[in-house]
Structure 1
Amino acid sequence: MSSPAPALGRVGYVTKMYPRYSETFIVHEILAHEAAGLPLDIFSLRTPSDPYFQDIVARVRSPVTQIPSHSPSTQTFWTTLSQAGSVLPDLWPQLHLASQEGTGALDIYQAVLVAVAARQRSITHLHAHFASVGTSIARLAARFAGLTYSFTAHAKDIYHDSVKTADLLRKIRDAHQVITVSDYNLRHLRELAGPDAGHIQRVYNGLDHQRLTYQAPETRSPLILGVGRLVEKKGFTDLIDACALLARRGVPFECRIVGRGELEPVLRAQIAALGLGDQVHLLGALPQAEVLRLIAQAAAFALPCVVGADGNRDGLPTVLLEAMALGTPCISTPVTGIPEVVRDRDTGLLVPEHCPEALSQALQELLRDASLRVRLAGQARALVSDEFDIHRNAARIRQAFQPAAAGVL
């Protein structure tokens, strides 16, 4: 059962794009807030581009506002600002501050639209996911509307080479609360922010365990499953190389990889070059219900994440938590927050980054040892039940909204 929401006002969620196929953790968080009675508005700064969305999006009741994502004409820009002045009485001095920071016209335009909507809808606090464009707009809109804001930092938004440290520090300093999804991230951000780090806290992403039925993996076909965007940081090139090693050793297996992304042609060529066309299959993007069904059938879930050449990396992939909740033993790498959940020989297996040989040995061990699968899976399910419950964790996030919504600005 969800804990009743405290006497909060209305909260606005500012997202770069909503809905987004790969960001179901945001949808689960919103659904948990709704279940607790928190009134929400969702703002999307970019037009959704995924061919279809996850089934759970249909359960969200909060209104979604699509903010225009194109740069306005000069006339539209100044007309919008002039009209906004009647709703946002302190707008012009704040615009001067924004211009001194070098903020672009599109960011100002979108932030003004969000700020006006927030005032008109009696929104009392703004929250963004990722310390990138969503937080940029939430920060400006909160300033323009006289509100507070918070944000959740994940991975690419704080580690990628494109991250501007001065901008990130400014967002941390001005935020009412900063949330991040792993202890690894927490240490990094606190070290970075120094004296401004007191309001940074770790809240794990959560799962709705009622939707994820645990099944012990004692009897599973030799299916290896990987799920994620087909990008460098997911490590799927290493997984395919590991599969080639399994094939050379005569280990029976099938590997399926679910997802879309820029590396798809590269991965297909790699599969063909290694002669794995009958054993390794790229399935493309699938609805979440189908993904969960496949996870529950697999003997091993493999996500050999790596730190990309540009610094991009995963934070703590939700799909690992889903696999653990369903009873599928996981193999991953010690990247960022992953060892906080995949604890080697306890709740899963860890192998070094970029090491197909170690990955193939771990896969072979799980495929052949049913007792190991069962032991790891049971301990993994207990961990995610204890620490990754969406309703408990969303309640902690609502506490970060409470002082602002109660009028302590």
Structure 2
Amino acid sequence: MQDETLVPTPGTAAPAGTARIGYVLKMYPRFSETFIVSEILAREAAGEQIVIFSLRPPTDARFHPELARVQAPVVHVGRASSPRRLWETWGETMARPALAAGMAEHLDELVAAGVDDAEQALAVARLALEHGVTHLHAHFASVATTVARLAGLVSGLPYSFTAHAKDIFHQDVDPEDLRRKLRDAHHAITISEYNLRHLRGCFGSEDTARLHLVRNGLELERFPYHRRGSTAERMPRGGPVRLIAVGRLVEKKGFDQLIDAVAALRHDGHDVRADIIGDGPLRADLEARIQQRDMGEHVRLWGPRTQEEVRAQLAEADLFVAPFVIAGDGNADGLPTVLLEAMACGIPCVAADVTAVGEVVIDGKTGWLVPAGDTAALTAAIAEAIGPATDTTQRTDAARALVEAHYDSRLQAAALRELAGAPAGRNPR
């Protein structure tokens, strides 16, 4: 590890009186977190100034082309490789009069925090002042929010955060830590009605008084709608019906059930194949399952693809399948961006009803919703959706309308800007 705590990308301070949002992210860029890039692009398009603080170096080998459009400077916040460098970080921060008082007042919290979290919080506090940041915002209520909160205490800057899924559902979530973050934030955001109800039920009205719903957004012009019609109309010459699934190869995605569903469908005479896009720790297990089911010619694991490549594959697919499950450790998907992208494009969707998925995939109206973990129900829904007489038009029209009404990134950017500019605790809506 390098013997430098900070590896900043040069940035310019905002003019006096200008708001600048400092995004505190565990890792940036991250291949699987396209929703963060879309959010930043939407806020920049609306005229906001942003600087990004990345707490870990990126590890992905591929990146989405949309990253090139982000104007925000990226500041990589390193971690000390020696006790001497760690001590220098504390000393450098204490030497700033604007930060010394905050350090002294909250020394107990800094000492109680993890070494890396405390060090990076001091670094972010110092860098935020250098870059003219007026508000800190973190994604995920875990390490990034821990650092943002501590940096806010030291610098006197308000902080906010967005809670998603693993950071609130996983068995390792510390309820008291999350309660403290909710209570101390200028405001907190979560991305679905399901999450909002869950957090209010866990913590009550006093701790969630500053919690607001702001849905993730899409740049809709990048996902033009294409009406498909019935399977017979789409495929007049026959050939396999193409199912597509996208996501990390982890338990909560339920891809093992999709493999089993394809085997059952083919056994029943349906000519289908499934393409699974993504990578992850369960790749070998899924490959073994494909071979065990003798599905090597009918289920393919494509590995990771960029957002543009996924969009091109969505355009060629007949059905999007999202067989989500709740993992053994409690981890569950919140509302995957790729599901919204599929709905926006006009591809019919079959999905399992974990967490907030039922807010967008409304059974019989915008798609097919099945019980999570029920492979037979998943298989039956796919069979119905790809049936030659099934006209998907009404459902896909309604799905596109729902995405336009609630998941437009311009609406998201406006809501985030209003929240950041409102007095703490006031709901601007």
TM-score (norm 2): 0.90
Choose the corresponding residue for 2:163, options 153, 172, 181: 153
Q: Secondary structure at the match of 2:159?
A: strand
Q: Does 1:392 align with 2:403?
A: no
Q: Secondary structure at the match of 1:372?
A: coil
Alignment of 1:6-17 (within 5 A): 9-17=19-27
Distance 2:378 2:334 in 1: 20
Distance 2:168 2:404 in 1: 28
Choose the corresponding residue for 1:196, options 204, 207, 216: 207
Choose the corresponding residue for 1:76, options 75, 85, 106: 85
Structure 1, unaligned stretches of length 5 or more?
1-6
Q: Does 1:210 align with 2:229?
A: no
Alpha-carbon spacing, 1:282–1:94, altered in 2? closer, same or farther (3 Å): farther
Letter in 2 for 1:85: M
State whether residues 46 and 413 of structure 2, in contact with CA within 8 Å, keep that contact through their aligned partners in structure 1. Answer: no
Say which is worse superposed, 216-225 or 230-239, in terms of deviation. 216-225
Q: Does 1:227 align with 2:246?
A: yes
1:4 is aligned to none
Distance 2:202 2:81 in 1: 36
Choose the corresponding residue for 2:63, options 45, 53, 61: 53
1:263 is aligned to 282
State whether residues 384 and 390 of structure 2, in contact with CA within 8 Å, keep that contact through their aligned partners in structure 1. Answer: no
Choose the corresponding residue for 1:122, options 110, 121, 132: 132
State whether residues 50 and 73 of structure 2, in contact with CA within 8 Å, keep that contact through their aligned partners in structure 1. Answer: yes
2:365 is aligned to 346
Choose the corresponding residue for 1:19, options 22, 25, 29: 29
Q: Does 1:93 align with 2:104?
A: yes
Alpha-carbon spacing, 1:92–1:86, altered in 2? closer, same or farther (3 Å): same
Distance 1:63 1:154 in 2: 25
Tell me the alpha carbon deviations over residues 22-55 of structure 1, each in whole angstroms, 9 at most, x when there is no partner.
1000000000011011110001111111111111
Letter in 2 for 1:320: L
Distance 1:286 1:81 in 2: 42
Alpha-carbon spacing, 1:73–1:387, altered in 2? closer, same or farther (3 Å): same
2:3 is aligned to none
Choose the corresponding residue for 2:326, options 307, 310, 322: 307
Choose the corresponding residue for 1:245, options 264, 270, 276: 264
Tell me the alpha carbon deviations over residues 301-334 of structure 1, each in whole angstroms, 9 at most, x when there is no partner.
0011111000000001111100000000111111
1:30 is aligned to 40
Distance 1:269 1:229 in 2: 17
Distance 1:248 1:8 in 2: 63
Alpha-carbon spacing, 1:331–1:12, altered in 2? closer, same or farther (3 Å): same
Q: Secondary structure at the match of 1:161?
A: coil
Distance 2:167 2:257 in 1: 24
Note the C-alpha offset of 1:370: 5.7
Note the C-alpha offset of 1:95: 4.3
1:3 is aligned to none
Alpha-carbon spacing, 1:105–1:280, altered in 2? closer, same or farther (3 Å): same
State whether residues 247 and 278 of structure 2, in contact with CA within 8 Å, keep that contact through their aligned partners in structure 1. Answer: yes
TM-score (norm 1): 0.94
For the aligned residue pairs, the C-alpha RMSD in angstroms reads: 1.4
| Matched length | 397
Alpha-carbon spacing, 1:94–1:244, altered in 2? closer, same or farther (3 Å): farther
Distance 1:157 1:296 in 2: 32
Letter in 2 for 1:123: V
Q: Secondary structure at the match of 1:313?
A: coil
